[in-house]
Chains A and B, each alone.
Chain A
Amino acid sequence: DQQVKQNSPSLSVQEGRISILNCDYTNSMFDYFLWYKKYPAEGPTFLISISSIKDKNEDGRFTVFLNKSAKHLSLHIVPSQPGDSAVYFCAAGSSNTGKLIFGQGTTLQVKP
């Protein structure tokens, strides 16, 4: 049972345009969500997070939107840069436990 799903395995955008990465979840107990970025041969690094009490969190070029009724979150990167090319994982957690459930990842390619 895949509780966190990233249905797009890959995304390609032009430098300067917006990248939108999507994530869906099924467990209504999740109350916080995170996005991680992963380069090859490195561990994932934290990017941005959002609590279920919010619907938007912004940090520089990165904005995460949460739609609780749809159990959907998205990461917007604008403007996209070639250095943003990486695999992006969304993750969800419940404040009752410490573990995170990760999606399958979306590979973003930003073309110069």
Chain B
Amino acid sequence: GAGVSQSPSNKVTEKGKDVELRCDPISGHTALYWYRQSLGQGLEFLIYFQGNSAPDKSGLPSDRFSAERTGGSVSTLTIQRTQQEDSAVYLCASSLPHITSGGNYTNSMSSYNEQFFGPGTRLTVL
């Protein structure tokens, strides 16, 4: 089946411009995550959507960053007034529903919340 797809694969923009990055998760995956990987760095968590719950935005580095997930499927990460330090590879991942301590979701526990990643969008801010 189709995996996680992201578009565009590469984006070059000028400092101060806004950019939108798109993620199409695997069908049936209600959990969606955004990460970024700056040059020489690890994966930095940005935001996490789970079903209809309020997203976990704890990783967004500034208020210039925002994300939406429409219809529980496609997600868009928007960066306003881009800065050079925003240059990175932005990775999207999706997974099956995740169980919480309240038991609100079912989960394939054998997968340990395995996240499937897209190929990423390389953003370069000039």
Contacts and interface: CB of A to CB of B under 8 A. Distances in A.
Quick one: which of B59, B111, B115 has the most chain A CB within 10 A? B115
Given A43-B93, A100-B113, A101-B45, A95 B119 contact: no
Nearest to B6: A43
A105 B111 CA distance: 21
A44 B114 CA distance: 11
A44 B91 contact: yes
B117 A43 contact: yes
Contacts of B50: 98
Interface stretch (B11-19, B65-73, B78-86, B97-105): B97-105
Contacts of A49: 111-112, 114
A97 B43 contact: no
Given A34-B112, A42-B119, A45-B117, A100 B31 contact: no
Interface of A: 6, 32, 34, 36, 41-46, 49-51, 89, 91, 93, 95-105
Given A36-B117, A97-B48, A103-B42, 14 more contacts: A32-B113, A42-B120, A43-B119, A46-B114, A49-B112, A95-B101, A97-B56, A97-B98, A98-B31, A98-B50, A102-B43, A102-B45, A104-B41, A105-B42
